Amino acid sequence: MYLRRARELRLDLRDEDPLCLGRHLNEFFMTLLVFQMRQLTGAHVVPTAAWFAHPKPADVAPLVESLGTKAIDFGKGSNGVAFAAETLATPLPTFDPTLLAIVERVAVEALAVTPPLEKFSLQVRRAVREAMAGSVPELPALAATFRMSERTFQRRLGEEGTSFQKLVDSVREELARLHVAEQKRSLGEIAYLLGYAEHSAFLRAFKRWTGVTPRSYRVERGRAPE
């Protein structure tokens, strides 16, 4: 059996804490992974690069010796190693075609019934929507509900091409359109629910989003203006 061929294999392990598990556990797990690959293949597998979440220690010589590479970065927010394509073609002496067929069938069946993971940004958006009641949720408090540091929280959103402020603005617009169209609340109540300290600020924001005033928006949808 051969390790799956690819241009490069990158194993990136993340944790909600910006330093992951801390220096000693970070280094232990990544070197253990490399040692296990060497044991499985019977070859002296050497990663092309390695990176760690924690800051660079004073002495990196033991780590360089263990991994076999000097291409090591620190303070990257995650732990990982990369292997070249030729490493992925290394044969495994323990190859068992019968076991492989069983494992592949079980994996395919498991994937078929596993629901897709919800994007982190959608989870945050839902949390912002639920917290939008008379005040705008603040980043530190919301990050804490996800058990993340502010830095990790913002990084996760950035990886999906958005930011906390963009999500807040988007939820405000969504709720504003909904409440104004329903006409169950006065414009002043809506402004309060969306966390606007001044009624005029809400009116300006609504016109920026829709191009019309809240009253005109209601009229266009067959509602009588207030």
Together in a domain, 88 and 132? no
In a domain, 103, yes or no: yes
Do 76 and 107 fall into the same domain? yes
Q: What is the mean pLDDT of residues 173-188?
A: 89
Q: What is the 3-state secondary structure (H, E, C) of the chain?
A: CECCCCCEEEEEECCCCCCCCCHHHHHHHHHHHHHHHHHHHCCCCCCCEEECCCCCCCCCHHHHHHHCCCCEECCCCCEEEEEEHHHHCCECCCCCHHHHHHHHHHHHHHHHHCCCCCCHHHHHHHHHHHHCCCCCCCHHHHHHHCCCCHHHHHHHHHHCCCCHHHHHHHHHHHHHHHHHHHCCCCHHHHHHHCCCCCHHHHHHHHHHHHCCCHHHHHHHCCCCCC
Question: Looking at the domain assignment, is residue 95 inside a domain?
Answer: yes
Q: Are residues 65 and 87 in the same domain?
A: yes
Last residue in a domain, options 63, 95, 113: 113
- Long-range interactions of 195-202: CB distance < 8 A, separation 24+: 195/132, 195/134, 195/135, 195/136, 202/176
More confident residue, 97 or 121: 121
**pLDDT for the residue numbered 148:** 85
Q: Which residue segment(s) compose the domain that 157 sits in? A: 120-220
How many domains are there within the chain?
2
On whether both 146 and 72 belong to a single domain, the answer is: no
pLDDT in tens, 4-43: 334 445 555 555 555 667 788 888 988 998 898 888 888 8
Same domain flag for 106 and 132: no
Query: For residue 122, what are its two tokens?
Result: 């959608």
Instruction: Tell me, yes or no, whether 91 and 12 share the same domain.
Output: yes
pLDDT category at 108 given cuts 50, 70, 90 is: confident
**Is residue 226 in some structural domain?**
no
CATH number assigned to the domain comprising residue 202:
1.10.10.60
C-beta of residue 52 within 8 angstroms of C-beta of residue 71: no
pLDDT digits (tens, 9 = 90+) for 115-144: 766 788 999 999 999 888 888 889 999 988
For residues 211 and 139, state if they share a domain: yes
What pLDDT score does 146 carry? 86
Confidence of residue 225 (pLDDT cuts 50, 70, 90): very low
Same domain, yes or no: 103 and 12 = yes
Q: How confident is residue 86, by pLDDT bands cut at 50, 70 and 90?
A: confident
Taking only the tens place, the pLDDT of each residue in 182-196 is: 888 899 999 999 999
One domain, residues 135 and 93: no
Domain identity same for 185 and 134: yes
Question: Within this chain, do residues 154 and 78 fall inside the same structural domain, yes or no?
Answer: no
Which of 102 and 95 is assigned the larger pLDDT? 102
pLDDT grade for 201, boundaries at 50, 70 and 90: very high
pLDDT at 7: 47
Tell whether 65 is covered by a domain.
yes
| 2 within domain boundaries | no
